[in-house]
Amino acid sequence: MIGVIDYGMGNVRSVQKAFEHVEADVELASDPARVESYDQLVLPGVGAFAQGMEHLRQRGWVQPIRRFIASGQPFLGICLGMQLLFEDSQEDASSPDQPVPGLAVLPGSVVGFSPRAADGTRRKVPHMGWNTIHWRRDDPLLSGLDQGVAVYFVHGYYPRPVETPDNPVASATCDYGGEFCASIWRDNVWATQFHPEKSQRIGLRMLANFATVCRGSVC
């Protein structure tokens, strides 16, 4: 059974329906005390980082999420749910040297897009709409998909993982006036900055992969 964490931040019903469309066993998870009843967990999210962390704390999800991930069972973060897995974020920070703390499951920080791209041209922020992603390495979540597939983004911030060649985190990147991390995979943790549930056939394939291929890769 896949549990989609319902913590009051975003499109949990859309994610649930997308998993149902690929015939996965799924339900909304609103009780942290039942976390051990799930084989896999999904943390979706739309909104601001600080508010997301506050909702997780108020509803008692912070430690259950950390325990679930530490147990080795498959976990998927989507959009804000991806960002919350990192150590901290510049979004809502009182100053650059006082970022907002996150779940600290993954090493790295969440940073914002500048209105001016790396080449000096202006870009719209937030990054919204369809864009292509490119694999950096094999990832069970992306199994069966071609390089350069288009997925749907809505975000003004993105994670900047701390990684080395021997300890990679990012599995795919996207170019929006400069390259940024579009998806991650480390051990039993997957996450996407884009919305698979809004990415039509491509996104549904990823959710089906999480329900089957990803689970098998860690069992």
Q: Are the CB atoms for 137 and 171 separated by under 8 Å?
A: yes
Place 48 in a pLDDT band, splitting at 50, 70 and 90: very high
If one counts the domains in the chain, the total is 1
Q: What's the pLDDT score for residue 219?
A: 45
CATH of the domain at 106: 3.40.50.880
Name the residue among 67, 19, 55 with its Cα closest to residue 207: 19
d(CA 171, CA 133): 10
> pTM of the predicted model, to two decimals?
0.95
Name the burial class of residue 163, with classes exposed (0-12), middle (13-18) and buried (19+) by CB atoms within 10 angstroms of its CB. middle
Specify the residue for token string 């809502």.
Answer: 92
Range of the domain at 178: 2-218
Mean pLDDT of 83-88: 98
Q: What is the pLDDT of residues 132-147, one digit of tens each?
A: 999 999 999 999 999 9
Mean pLDDT of 193-213: 95
Q: What is the pLDDT of residues 98-121, one digit of tens each?
A: 999 999 999 999 999 989 887 888
The mean predicted confidence, pLDDT, of the chain is 94
Q: What's the pLDDT score for residue 102?
A: 97
The catalytic site residues sit at: 79, 195, 197
Mean pLDDT of 26-44: 96
